[in-house]
């Protein structure tokens, strides 16, 4: 399952795609 969600930081929008592999805790996306 592929999750897509948008986050907004200081007026800048980021589109984050996270693929779930069935783990109980989703791995955090890379953040700069």
At residue 21, the 3 state secondary structure works out as: coil
**Residues 1-32 pLDDT 10s:** 788 989 999 999 998 888 877 656 555 666 55
Q: Would you give the DSSP letter of residue 26?
A: P
The per-residue pLDDT for 16 is 86
The per-residue pLDDT for 25 is 59
Residue 11 backbone zone (phi > 0: left; psi -120 to 50: alpha; other: beta): left
The pTM for the full model equals 0.39
């Amino acid at each position: 399952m592929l999750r897509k969600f948008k986050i907004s930081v200081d007026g800048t929008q980021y589109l984050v795609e996270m693929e779930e592999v069935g783990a109980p805790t989703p791995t955090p996306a890379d953040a700069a």
